[in-house]
Amino acid sequence: MINPHGSEELQPLYVYDDATRMALAEEAEGLPSLLLNSAAAANAVMLGAGYFNPLQGYMDLADARSVARSLHTSDGLFWPVPIVNLTKDENVAAGNRIALRDPNVEGNPVLAVMDVTAVEEVSDGELREMAEKIFRTLDENHPGVATFLSLGNRMVSGSIQVLNFSYFADEFPETFRTAVDIRAEIAERGWNKVVAFQTRNPMHRAHEELCRMAMEDLGADGILIHMLLGKLKPGDIPADVRDASIRKMVEVYFPPNTVMITGYGFDMLYAGPREAVLHAVFRQNCGCSHLIVGRDHAGVGDYYGGFDAQTIFDEEVPEGALGIDIYRADHTAYSRKLDRVVMMRDAPDHDKEDFVLLSGTAVREMLGKGIAPPPEFSRPEVAQILMDYYRSQS
């Protein structure tokens, strides 16, 4: 199986030893507390789960700025997005040992214990410089920019020990998996070549066929459908609905032992190209050999070109920086001529009217009215789950 990023063995920051974890939890109740924001809490979950291997905690300002500018930490580790704990709290100081409390669970239980190495003031200019590098815009209508610039001007860095996985393990017990879990299951299944498919949306026919194409083209043993379970922008489909629709699609339309359906606990950044590279890093940590990168991967609105998330791997990712490879997907659509989903680049003899093309907005409007999209676009079993959801919201 492919090695993790930056180390020979995965180094999750979750405390697996029960006695040690219980002792830390007891100690944490007597420590000064920092209530995290959702972004920092999601980073802690990803660090705990081994997805952000080999990081040992939150970055300091030098590393965060270096990553934003050059996709490398100060000591040369390739990394695409700053992993930081920004706060407005003024009571934390360097040298403190503190309890990090979860903003997303009632009662704000302790999520992790942190040894604070530095607390640095970050100017608005420095925040904006990092935001522009990460998101390629400073438009605060961009949800990622708006979130990043609102987190606070104090950067708290240092190593952490993670005590739980927030609400993800409890709310999504059948789906949430750590990188440790996924590597173990890949080994158990005897898979060697594994293709990861990232999604924050339900999967329609084009997504389904894209997974099938990638698996066949690469001679892969299996597909990891890996869905984001954290916070999204308003209007996106909730994780439990996406989960149900994806499970139904796989149950009906994929052969047994070809697909793993899993999820990870992170808030969407909408950082387009940079987030696509982050997706590649943590899929390598899961043990995947390939990641599907398609049109507008991790994008939002019109902030990125359709295939910027592919070209960044050519233009900004140094050769050898990653062990995982990218499977580059084109626009996919149902071909009336061929009676199947194709990549549009592979059908040069087609005109626009030869394809079934529906925008996401058009599909949402149809579902909201209880109208099933055409079967060429969405499997009827998937459409039914989504129609039921939209009707429940009206």
What CATH number does residue 106 fall under?
3.10.400.10
Is the same domain home to 112 and 202?
Answer: no
Question: Cα–Cα distance between 84 and 249 in angstroms, integer?
Answer: 37
Is the same domain home to 135 and 183?
Answer: no
Highest mean pLDDT among 164-178, 324-338, 348-362: 164-178
Strand partners, 57: 159
Confidence of residue 392 (pLDDT cuts 50, 70, 90): confident
Average pLDDT of the chain is: 93
Of the candidates 67, 94, 62, 100, the one whose C-alpha atom is nearest the C-alpha of residue 81 is: 67
Is the same domain home to 165 and 179?
Answer: no
Is the same domain home to 186 and 299?
Answer: yes
Q: Is 5 inside a domain boundary?
A: no
Is the same domain home to 194 and 324?
Answer: yes
Q: Which two tokens stand for residue 322?
A: 């990653």
* Residue 55 identity: L
Question: Cα–Cα distance between 272 and 378 in angstroms, integer?
Answer: 25
- Percent of the chain at pLDDT > 90 equals 76
Residue 375 is predicted with a pLDDT of 83
Is the same domain home to 153 and 238?
Answer: no
For the segment 364-392, the average pLDDT, to the nearest whole number, is 86
Asked whether residue 157 carries a pLDDT value surpassing 80, the answer given is yes
Determine which of 63-72, 198-207, 269-278, 287-296 has the lowest per-residue pLDDT on average: 198-207
| Domain edge (last residue) among 116, 145, 169 | 169
Residue 173 is predicted with a pLDDT of 93
Question: Cα–Cα distance between 212 and 21 in angstroms, integer?
Answer: 42
Residue range of the domain that includes 310: 175-393
Question: Cα–Cα distance between 299 and 276 in angstroms, integer?
Answer: 9
Per the structure, how many domains does the chain have? Answer: 2
- Percent of the chain at pLDDT > 70 equals 99
Question: Cα–Cα distance between 371 and 365 in angstroms, integer?
Answer: 8
Q: Determine how many CB atoms are found less than 10 A away from the CB of residue 210.
A: 22
245 contacts 175 by C-beta, under 8 angstroms: no
Residue 53 is predicted with a pLDDT of 98
- H helices of 84-204, in order, are 124-135, 143-148, 168-171, 179-189
Of the candidates 298, 293, 208, the one whose C-alpha atom is nearest the C-alpha of residue 247 is: 208
Asked whether residue 137 carries a pLDDT value surpassing 90, the answer given is yes
Residue 202 is predicted with a pLDDT of 85
Confidence of residue 249 (pLDDT cuts 50, 70, 90): very high
- H helices of 136-238, in order, are 143-148, 168-171, 179-189, 205-218
pTM, two decimal places: 0.93
Q: Is 203 inside a domain boundary?
A: yes
CATH code, domain with 221: 3.40.50.620
Q: Is 53 inside a domain boundary?
A: yes
Is the same domain home to 128 and 244?
Answer: no
Q: Which residues contact 106 (CB under 8 A, 6 or more apart)?
A: none
3-state secondary structure of 115: strand
Q: Is 9 inside a domain boundary?
A: no
Q: Is 1 inside a domain boundary?
A: no
Is the same domain home to 208 and 340?
Answer: yes
Determine which of 46-50, 52-56, 76-80, 336-340 has the lowest per-residue pLDDT on average: 336-340
Is the same domain home to 348 and 380?
Answer: yes
Q: Is 309 inside a domain boundary?
A: yes
Is the same domain home to 60 and 147?
Answer: yes
More confident residue, 333 or 164: 164
Residue 343 is predicted with a pLDDT of 76
| Domain edge (last residue) among 129, 149, 169 | 169
For the segment 274-298, the average pLDDT, to the nearest whole number, is 96
Catalytic residue positions, numbered? 200-201
For the segment 235-254, the average pLDDT, to the nearest whole number, is 90
Is the same domain home to 162 and 259?
Answer: no
Q: Is 121 inside a domain boundary?
A: yes
Asked whether residue 326 carries a pLDDT value surpassing 90, the answer given is yes
For the segment 342-362, the average pLDDT, to the nearest whole number, is 76
Q: Which long-range contacts (CB under 8 A, 24 or more apart) does 385-388 make?
A: 385/202, 385/241, 385/244, 385/245, 385/248, 386/202, 386/237, 386/241, 386/245
Q: Is 231 inside a domain boundary?
A: yes
Phi, psi of 111, deg, nearest 5: -95, -35
| Domain edge (last residue) among 169, 184, 216 | 169
Q: What is the pLDDT of residues 353-366, one digit of tens each?
A: 778 776 666 777 78
Is the same domain home to 193 and 107?
Answer: no
Determine which of 172-181, 330-339, 354-363 has the lowest per-residue pLDDT on average: 354-363
105 contacts 167 by C-beta, under 8 angstroms: yes
